[in-house]
Amino acid sequence: MGSTRNAVLKFLLNHQRSTINELARAVKISPISVRHHIARLETEGMVASAEERHGVGRPRRVYYLTEAGMEHFPGRTIRFTNRLLDELKETLPAEQFARLLDGMGDSAAADLAAASDLPSMTLDERLKLLKNWLTKEGFSVQVQRNENELIIKETSCPYFYVGQNHGEVCSIDKALIAKALSADPQRTSCLLSGDSHCTYTIPMAAIKPAAKP
């Protein structure tokens, strides 16, 4: 496979829903050339597209890797993971399957708590810890804050391709955020719903301050 097409696939690996213009800027070729490469990748079943809501006006078309596209990268086991979860979902009652995925989130949150002294940390320290932890998990994270609320945006998600079949995996990052901030984050947008990123919001008043020494 050519280097340009590999570059397109690699960019889509880390930016799951990208436009032609975004791809053109990333791989440094013209949009027309990108369309040519994308068309071939779609024919091979490695890339697919969808319309995405983007503010006012017409939806834009974004491109993303398919399961076959993900398997192009060494160490990616999306197909195996999906098959395993398919079997579990067929074998277990729905409530028990959901508890299993919730348990994975709780386990990840427990690891975060065990690696730090959350009660004594300031909000800035907890946000830094959370961002580093999510980054290690494979998320691309942006944090915004104003007087009223905290906003956490995930522009890429390591569970995106599994989540297309098993949306329950979204409980994992939510559990990490809840543990780090001792608050219940509300998901207001989601990559799996066609949004450009996942967004969690938390009222500033709901975040517990650090314990006094």
102 & 196 share domain: yes
18, 38, 70: which is the final residue of a domain? 70
CB 125 within 8 A of CB 181: no
Q: What is the pLDDT of residue 76?
A: 62
CB burial class (10 A; 0-12, 13-18, 19+) of residue 133? buried
- Looking up residue 63, the CATH number of its domain turns out to be 1.10.10.10
185 in a structural domain = yes
Q: What is the pLDDT of residue 212?
A: 52
pLDDT of residue 196 exceeding 60, the answer is: yes
Helices (H) and strands (E) in the chain, counts: 9, 6
213 in a structural domain = no
Model pLDDT for residues 9-32, shown as the tens digit of each residue? 989 988 888 999 999 999 999 999
DSSP three-state, residue 60: strand
82 & 187 share domain: yes
Q: Residues near 67 by Cβ (< 8 Å), separated by ≥ 6?
A: 78, 79, 82, 161
70, 97, 116: which is the final residue of a domain? 70
Q: Tell me the Cα Rg of the chain.
A: 19
Token pair 């399961």 in the structure block, residue? 67
60 & 24 share domain: yes
Which phi and psi angles does 78 have, rounded to 5°?
Answer: -60, -45
Domain range spanning residue 12?
A: 3-70
64 & 82 share domain: no
Instruction: Note every long-range contact of 64-68, with CB atoms under 8 Å and residues 24 or more positions apart, other chains counting.
Output: 64/12, 64/16, 64/17, 64/18, 64/160, 65/9, 65/12, 65/13, 65/16, 65/161, 67/161, 68/44
Q: What is the pLDDT of residue 72?
A: 78
40, 70, 100: which is the final residue of a domain? 70
Strand 60-65 relative to strand 198-203, pairing: unpaired
11 & 87 share domain: no
Model pLDDT for residues 130-189, shown as the tens digit of each residue? 999 998 888 889 999 998 999 999 988 888 888 888 988 998 999 999 999 999 999 999
211 in a structural domain = no
212 in a structural domain = no
60 & 117 share domain: no
Find the helix or strand (DSSP H, E) in which 68 lies: helix 67-70
Single-letter residue type at 61: R
66 & 150 share domain: no
124 & 27 share domain: no
- Looking up residue 189, the CATH number of its domain turns out to be 3.30.1380.20
Rounded (10°) CA dihedral 98, 104, 110, 113: -100
121 & 188 share domain: yes
86 & 35 share domain: no
Quote the Cα angle for 168-173-177, to 5°.
135
Domain tally, the chain? 2
